[in-house]
Structure formats: structure tokens, C-alpha cells
Amino acid sequence: MNPADDALLAVRGLRIAFRVDRHSTVEAVKGISFDVPRHATVALVGESGSGKSVSSLAVMGLLPAESTLVDPASSIRFDGRDVLRLPAGERRALCGREIAMIFQEPMSSLNPVFTVGFQVGEVLRRHMGMSRRQARARTLALLEEVGIPDPAVKIDAYPGQLSGGQQQRVMIAMAIACEPKLLIADEPTTALDVTIQKQILALIARLQRERGMAVLFITHDLGLVGEIADHVIVMRHGEIREAGPARQVLGAPRDPYTRALLHCRPSLDSRPVRLPVIDDYLKRESGRGPDSEPVPQRTRGYGPDDDIILDVRNLRKSFWIREGLFGKREFQAVKDVSFQLPRGKTLGVVGESGSGKTTVGLTLLRLHRATGGSALFDGRDLLALPERAFHPYKRRIQIIFQNPYASLNPRFTVGQILLEPMRLHRIGADDAQRVAMALELLARVGMPAQAFHRYPHEFSGGQRQRIAIARCLTMQPEILVCDESVSALDVSVQAQVLNLLQDLQDEFALSYLFISHDLAVVKYISDRVMVMQGGAVVESADADELYRNPRHPYTRSLLSAFPRGVE
């Protein structure tokens, strides 16, 4: 982007490094320059480690001072002032009133022990000098402006009593409370359902227009960019690879890396046998890889002769919620859900948060106790088996959770993580054989043998998810429940993990119950798709038929909310 006189934010030569130890540093941002014009939306796009979030945190002054090295020649000018050279007090006041930020995970940003009204009001009292009564009245208006239902009730609610979309709306209300000139949104929709994601994007766009703000929108999903951005900046390894108007960058990208990002994401229009990954695409573009050939498509769907491995009938799950001192009421999370899963096939389960899709998966694994129904696995009802009789089935049906950071024990090495389930289920004759099996599995999921002796925190999110898959494979399962297992990954890493899951299914005839809110991913990997709303199945059909001819209004609303980029 060319320097412009009307730039609200002008970043020049920004170079940031972090101390690793006394003698070494790692450079995260390598001399980048860009502008954010007044009243415009600029998208900063890139994978994890590209430097996009570090750049935004540098603008806000939120990088840890003790371990961050910013090149003295760098400058970040906001409305004519170089924020890097402002006194600490002035910079805090500036970032409180004129620059605001929405973070990716609202539950990590909102204090769980204070009400929503207190937290929004605190911003107004601190930066606007309002009294408590004035702040409460203004907070009510803000909650209504960002679309919180029943703001007079929700103002006294705690964050844990709100849905994920409502929590993010509260964060937006806090961010716009002081009417900032620049709003920085760092991955604000990554973990949200497609319909909530669309609502949040529309809300940010409306507020930007009505308030005349500039927006710096940070994401790894190029599909979202065309929905909201005027300009796009693509980053990789701390450098800017391409920048320009959104229509040009997304419609006719000049840089091979931008083209690779666009090609890696599954689409609703095709289903290649293998998804392209960035490194392969870049090698082909540079002439170091094989020439591009027509990509064969994979045929999906259930067949009449499929061997049914799991037959679920009228599955029900209720939770009891306390009301008052002695009262309680029943909440039906899963209502008479029935489906069949053939051997070597994938059933995709889609729906918004609260639809019951994850509860179905956890109930099948008996991590929740079913209220009713049956789940026949090779003719035996998993839900009715005594605990002792169910034990052998634990190794045959496994789960890959959404968050590999939380599902891997940080105190165990990768080797210990892989060996422990094999010892518990007596897989392998001895530890020597188990170690050999673990090393073979690491290689199978694309991890080096050296990973065996390292800890989870030493790996990226995509690598941790590969380790989680390897742990499941130690049990030699027949069914894998994939619960949002690729939703938090960059598109390039997502493509690698999806290719891995498909390879494993082709080789071992694994059956997948694939739970996700990402409609493109579900279309790519599923033979059949089941749509859930309010705990019930509202539609179920072969994947191609359901996407081509959705019958239920809810299914149509999900598909219409899918971001399609620049039209």
C-alpha cells in the first residue's frame, strides 16, 4: 500500500525481536511498513508465526518489555504521533481512548468474577471520567448497540452465563465504549459458528461505517477477508509478501504465497483427492516441483452394501440445571438422535454452538451418561454395557479434541503420552515393542523421531494435533470422533491434517464422526452430513445432495452464512 496523506496509522520499518536467552534472539517482524487509512478496513493476513499479531500488539504497546527488542529506527505513527516514543502514561491513555482492541478468545479477556456491566463500565469510568450511574446508562446503550438480547438483564450477568457470540459482542462494546478512531480486531471470529461469525463481521462493518472508525482486521482465513476488508496485507515469516486492494489481492493475487493460501482452503464447489499444501504449491510455482495437472476428484456417499459399524437409535441426553435453592429443571441437550456410520466412511455433524453435536460424541464415548437410546457397536449396545465390559471398547472408539494444547499432558514427553495408553491396554509385548510402535506412528503422522523425547509446549498447534492423532492411533481404533479437530488451525496446517485423516481412513478403513462448524471442511471429508439444531437432527443426507439441495430452512441459513470472499 502506498503511503497516503490520510493514513490514520502509518507503520514504517517495524522490526521486532524476542530474547530467547542471554545470548540469542529470534526476529519476529522484519522491517515491515504499511498504512491504515482513515475510515477504512485493512486486513492483515497470514499463518501462525507470520508476525501479524505481534505487529498489532506493538501498536497497542502490549508486548512484554523485558523480552522484546524493537529496532530504534522503527516508527508507528498514529494520527501524527509516534506512539513508540510517547511517555508510558500518554500511551496508555491513547490506547484506552483512541485505539482499541478485540482479542481472539473473549473468555480469556473477560474477568469471570465481575459482571458484564462492571467491566464495560470500568472502561467508561477510567477513560471518560463517568460516574457509576452515567457509566451504567452508557453501558446499557452500548450492549443494545452491539445486539446483546435483553441488555437490561445481561448487564448484570457474568461472562460464563453468556454464549461465545455474546461474549464477543461484550468485548466489542468495551472496545467501542470510548469511540476510538482505530479498532484492532485480532482473530475475533476464529472459534465462532458460521452464523455467529457472519453476525460479528456484519456488526464490525456497521460500527465502522456509522462511527467512521478505521479497522485493522487480523485473520488467517482469506475467506473472511473479502467480506469485510478494503485493503489486504499478506504476511509470512515476519515479512509482507503482498499488499493492495482486497479485490485485486483476492481476485488476481501476484505473490505465489497468496495464491497458495487461497488454494489450500477446501471449497464448497470441489473435493480433490488431496488438498494442496503451501510448500508443494510454492515448489511447483518456482519450477522445483512437478507441473500442475488436473486434480482428480473424490466421490463420496453411503452405499447400500456398506458394513454398518455403529448404529445409533433415539439417543437422548439431558442435564439438570439448578433453579433457586431447591428447584431444578431438565435441559434436553440431545433429543432422539439416530444415525448409522459405516466402516471406512465419514459422517459429518454440523450445527451452531448448543446444537448438541459435541454432546452426541461425548455421550457415545460414555464421557456423558446417556439419558436414553442405544448405540450398537458390532451388535452390542455401548450405552448399556457395564463398566468392566465396556473397557475393551475404549480402545476401539477414540476422540480427537479441538484444543491440542489442553488435551496433551504438559508434564509428559511425547513418548510418555504415546506409551501410556498402550501400557494401560496391554498393547505390545513389552516397552521395546511399544517404543518401536510409537516411533512408527510418529513417522506416520509426519513427525520426526526426535519428537519422542520432547514436550508438547515445544511444538506448534498443528504439530500438537498430529501428536494427538498419533496417541489415538496407538489404540488401533476403528472409530474416531473428531470434535472440531481442525477448526483452530491455519488453512495450510488444516490441509495437512485433513490429508492425514484421509490417508489413515484409506489405509485402515477408519470410520469418522466428524464434528465441525466449518461447512467447507465438512463437505470435503464427509460421505454423509447430519445437521443438528437445538439438540435434534433437522436434516441428514449424502454430502453432495445436502449441499446441492438443502431442504431445511436452518441448513439453508448455515450455507448462506458461509464466507465466500470477493464475489
CATH number of 344's domain: 3.40.50.300
The three cell numbers locating residue 83: 506512539
Q: Is 49 found in the same domain as 98?
A: yes
3-state secondary structure of 265: coil
- Please state which of the ranges 176-185, 245-254, 291-300, 354-363 shows the lowest mean pLDDT: 291-300
The helix-helix angle for 414-424 and 431-444 (nearest 10°) equals: 120
pLDDT band at 294 (very low <50, low <70, confident <90, very high): low
Q: Is 231 found in the same domain as 103?
A: yes
pLDDT band at 3 (very low <50, low <70, confident <90, very high): very low
| Residue 111 maps to a domain | yes
pLDDT computed for residue 564 by the predictor: 65
| Residue 261 maps to a domain | no
pLDDT band at 492 (very low <50, low <70, confident <90, very high): confident
Q: Is 498 found in the same domain as 433?
A: no
- Does the pLDDT of residue 444 top 90, yes or no? no
The three cell numbers locating residue 475: 489404540
Q: How far does Cα 224 stand from its chain's mean position? A: 13
3-state secondary structure of 210: helix
Show which of 208, 227, 250 is a domain's final residue. Answer: 250
- Does the pLDDT of residue 501 top 70, yes or no? yes
The residue-averaged pLDDT of 108-135 equals 92
- Please state which of the ranges 145-154, 165-174, 401-410 shows the lowest mean pLDDT: 401-410
Show which of 250, 268, 297 is a domain's final residue. Answer: 250
Residue-number span of the structural domain to which 433 is assigned: 403-476
* Separation between Cα atoms, residue 345 and residue 543, nearest integer Å: 12
| Residue 265 maps to a domain | no
pTM: 0.81
pLDDT computed for residue 565 by the predictor: 58
Q: Is 469 found in the same domain as 505?
A: no
Q: Tell me what the pLDDT averaged over the chain comes to.
A: 89
Task: Provide, rounded to the nearest whole percent, the portion of the chain with pLDDT above 70.
Answer: 96
pLDDT tens string 124-148: 998 899 999 999 999 999 999 898 8
**75 within 8 A of 12, measured Cβ to Cβ:** yes
The residue-averaged pLDDT of 418-423 equals 93
pLDDT tens string 243-271: 999 999 999 999 999 988 888 888 888 88
| Residue 426 maps to a domain | yes
Q: Is 533 found in the same domain as 419?
A: no
- Does the pLDDT of residue 206 top 60, yes or no? yes
Q: Is 387 found in the same domain as 331?
A: yes
The residue-averaged pLDDT of 362-384 equals 94
pLDDT band at 173 (very low <50, low <70, confident <90, very high): very high
- For the chain, the domain total comes to 3
Q: Is 431 found in the same domain as 385?
A: no
pLDDT computed for residue 30 by the predictor: 95
Q: Is 187 found in the same domain as 96?
A: yes
